[in-house]
């Protein structure tokens, strides 16, 4: 009977475990900061360094303008949400602008991460996985 009770408690506890937070897309890519901080260990060649530098510069030049616009658009949305009553149609229209800018930033960022990963060798990718915790 004690075993049964223990089993019941264990089952209940198992059922209440929260699902682990996962980032399946992010896990497949490597931020340039990580690669550059480990450049000695990874034995990056000159071509790879140039590729990473160019990709980061190209993306950053776009990020700055887009993030500025995003800040303005989200500030405007905050102001709209502070009004009483809230103009739902106007807020949704503004939300479209905010989400459109977010989408553009995400696409540029993703493109940069893909190009950087494509410039790495299979061995370097393996090393980066290990450096990030074996995932």
Q: Residues in the site for other proteins, rule: CB under 8 A?
A: 4, 7-8, 10-11, 14-15, 18-19, 21, 23-26, 31-33, 56, 59-60, 63-64, 67-68, 71, 102, 105-106, 109-110
CA distance 28 to 21: 15
Pick 67 or 121: Cβ nearer other proteins:
67
For the bound state, the minimum distance from the C-beta of residue 90 to other proteins, rounded and expressed in Å, comes to 23
For the bound state, the minimum distance from the C-beta of residue 7 to other proteins, rounded and expressed in Å, comes to 5
For the bound state, the minimum distance from the C-beta of residue 54 to other proteins, rounded and expressed in Å, comes to 14
Task: Write the DSSP symbol of residue 17.
Answer: P
- Write b or e for each residue in 66-80: b if 16 or more Cβ atoms lie within 10 A of its Cβ, otherwise e: eeebbeebbeebeeb
- In sequence order, the 6+-apart residues with CB closer than 8 A to the CB of 111 are 59
Decide if 128 contacts 34 (C-beta within 8 A).
yes
Q: Which helix (H) or strand (E) holds 104?
A: helix 88-118
For the bound state, the minimum distance from the C-beta of residue 126 to other proteins, rounded and expressed in Å, comes to 22
Pick 41 or 71: Cβ nearer other proteins:
71
Pick 43 or 106: Cβ nearer other proteins:
106
Pick 7 or 83: Cβ nearer other proteins:
7
């Amino acid at each position: 009977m004690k075993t049964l009770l223990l089993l019941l408690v264990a089952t209940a506890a198992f059922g209440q475990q929260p699902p682990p937070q996962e980032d399946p897309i992010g896990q497949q890519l490597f931020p340039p900061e990580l690669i550059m901080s480990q450049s000695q260990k990874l034995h990056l060649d000159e071509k790879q360094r140039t590729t990473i530098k160019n990709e980061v510069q190209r993306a950053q030049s776009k990020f700055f303008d887009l993030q500025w616009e995003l800040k303005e658009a989200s500030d405007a949305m905050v102001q709209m949400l502070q009004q009483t009553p809230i103009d739902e149609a106007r807020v949704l229209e503004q939300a479209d602008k905010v989400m459109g800018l977010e989408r553009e930033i995400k696409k540029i960022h993703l493109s940069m991460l893909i190009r950087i990963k494509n410039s790495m060798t299979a061995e370097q990718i393996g090393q980066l996985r290990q450096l990030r915790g074996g995932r």
